[in-house]
Chain A
Amino acid sequence: MIRKPISSGQPKAAASRRTALRAALAGLGAASLAGCDRLSNNAAFVDVLKSTQHLSHGAQRLVAGRKAMAQEFSQADVAAHFKANGTLAPRDADYQALMKDGFADWKLQVGGLVDAPAAFTLAELRAMPSRTQITRHDCVEGWSTIGKWKGVPLSHLLALVKPRPQAKFVVFRCADSMEDPNASADSRYYESVDMDDAYHVQTVLAYELNDAPLPVANGAPLRARIERQLGYKHAKYLMRVELVERFDQIRGGQGGYWEDNGYEWYAGI
């Protein structure tokens, strides 16, 4: 049995040293924790932490190419109830008026950096080519749920409106205010994706969930499906699709409602 000379010879000194060590460790632990919290409020430090999203995006594009497909599932995998999250029923008066008429007066505006801006009714969108896919919806919170979507591929709409070459991002403008709809500040949900995701085969604007018209809780009448990113990219209650060169002058400048609240723009991780 090995004993340090100090602990067998000078138990008292060793004990007090142990107490001191323990106190020092506890103090160090508490100080590190407080330090982490201070660093979390330091903009420059947080920028360093957040910079890895570019590394992640680049690396992930390398191993899962621009056109790599998200996993698709079978009918048996579809969840009995597709969990809805975020806004479940927009309180905005203009949305409620549209909803009352079964979205008969609703139109999707598609504009921005395009040569042929257009607006489409729900009936027109339903008459276009469609894609049906059973995919898994992964929330940033950690849960997943599998649903069957039917919608018009975004690439089809883009071909109709003829994007200009300088268009780099597609911005989704939504009907739902995340905060008080009557407040002066605009808090309506918005999101953005790059052209890789905009033209991706599985990027559809969905009007059906599980073979039924898209329920209000899940984004009626139309929502985006961005299958290789987390749930907050899949904007619901779509009103307008806008092609832009940059999004830093839109609202908080980070490219989306949750991005303006600290989440990563690249949500593939």
Chain B
Amino acid sequence: MTSPAPNRIYRHRLPVRVMHWINVICLTILLMSGLQIFNAHPALYWGKDSSFAQPWVAIGALNAPGGGVTGVTTIAGHRFSTDGVLGASKVGGEGAKVVRAFPSWATIPGPQWLSMGRHWHFFFAWLFVLNGIAYVAYAIASGHLTRDLLPTRAELRQIGRSIKDHLLFRHETGAAATRYNVLQNLAYLAVIFGLLPLVIVAGMAMSPRLDAVAAGWVDLLGGRQSARTLHFLAATGLLLFVLVHLFEVLINGAWNQIRSMLTGWYVLPVDDKRTKP
């Protein structure tokens, strides 16, 4: 081992921390109010308009043999029983099952209420976009982008080892832990410059007034109904990223990680190989 790394580093600066938590609030509310909006027409299509007979995914309910309803999800013509969660579920866990695509625990507001879901969604969409613009501007101006987010050539060459480390849940210690690892870099870059712009642009493509910005620009996304599909898929991608992100936080000294995003200070993990006899 080389010289011992400093014990504590100031890892996240205040603007990044503030913007991170604004993003947490926005993404949570956008996802859940988005599911509320989706519930108003729980089917997705590819193309300029809705081919009502052929959605590629549809969430619905059938009459159950013994009375009541049972939830089913159909993807590319294959039907799956998703009763209790997708298609039919109890509102607030009480009473009889009702027909609704996503369950009340996943939507804002809980009851089926399209207009209110839209109010939540558009308010936090503005906050989310302004926060995102501020973040990208800050990342470029402060050097955060080039210093922390872009991997170096040497780091890119280490990608195979990084993948192996992740699969073995092996993580950086000492000096190496002062930097994001290369998979982390690539994941963050894909989210910041891939999924997030996609979710925003596809969302905007669903606005009839914004469709009038330039004739036919929505066709670049495959049409308005394709844009709705892309919006949903990008949101799903963001959810998967968040789940992996939370998993990595949990298995890598959860409190140290959370504290560093609250106070900025991160305690460098020591290499336990050094302590072995």
Contacts and interface: CB of A to CB of B under 8 A. Distances in A.
Interface in B209-247: 209-213, 215-216, 218, 224-225, 228
Given A33-B108, A142-B40, A144-B224, A228 B212 contact: yes
A88 interface: no
Given A52-B123, A79-B49, A141 B208 contact: no
Given A141-B40, A141-B114, A52 B122 contact: yes
Interface stretch (B63-71, B79-87, B138-146, B168-176): B168-176
How many chain B residues sit at the interface, stated as a range, is 35 or more
Contact of B108 (A36, A68, A77): A36
A37 B208 CA distance: 29
Contacts of A55: 126
B239 to A, nearest CB: 15
Given A1-B169, A36-B109, A142 B38 contact: yes
Given A55-B126, A64-B212, A50 B119 contact: yes
Interface in B156-174: 169-171, 173
B40 A140 contact: yes
Which of the listed residues B108, B169, B211, B212 has the most CB atoms from chain A within 10 Å of its own CB?
Answer: B212
Interface string B91-128: 00000000000000100111101111011101100100
Contact of B116 (A40, A60, A140, A229): A40
Nearest to A230: B208
Interface in B193-207: 206-207
A268 interface: yes
B225 A144 contact: yes
B164 to A, nearest CB: 14
Interface string A132-163: 00001011111111100000000000000000
B211 A70 contact: yes
B213 A144 contact: no
Contacts of A263: 115, 118
Contacts of A73: 48
Nearest to B51: A79
B269 interface: yes
Interface string B31-59: 01000011011010100111010000000
Contacts of A77: 48-49
Contacts of A141: 40-41, 114
B253 interface: yes
Interface string A52-68: 11011000100110001
Contacts of A79: 49
Given A33-B110, A46-B119, A268-B207, A142 B41 contact: yes
B264 to A, nearest CB: 20
Given A1-B170, A55-B126, A142-B41, A269 B49 contact: no
User: What size tier do the contact residues of chain A reach?
Assistant: 35 or more
A229 B209 contact: yes
A49 B173 contact: no
Contacts of A63: 210, 213
B270 to A, nearest CB: 8
B111 A268 contact: no
A60 B48 CA distance: 21
Nearest to B43: A143
A3 B123 CA distance: 42
Contact of B272 (A1, A40, A53, A145): A1
Interface in A54-97: 55-56, 60, 63-64, 68-71, 73, 77, 79, 83
B208 A229 contact: yes
B252 interface: yes
A70 B122 contact: no
A252 interface: no
A264 interface: yes
Given A36-B110, A40-B109, A145-B49, 4 more contacts: A1-B169, A56-B126, A69-B212, A228-B211
Interface of B: 29, 32, 37-38, 40-41, 43, 45, 48-50, 52, 105, 108-111, 113-116, 118-120, 122-123, 126, 169-171, 173, 206-213, 215-216, 218, 224-225, 228, 252-253, 255-256, 269, 272
9 contacts: A36-B109, A40-B113, A56-B122, A83-B52, A141-B114, A143-B225, A145-B50, A228-B209, A261-B115
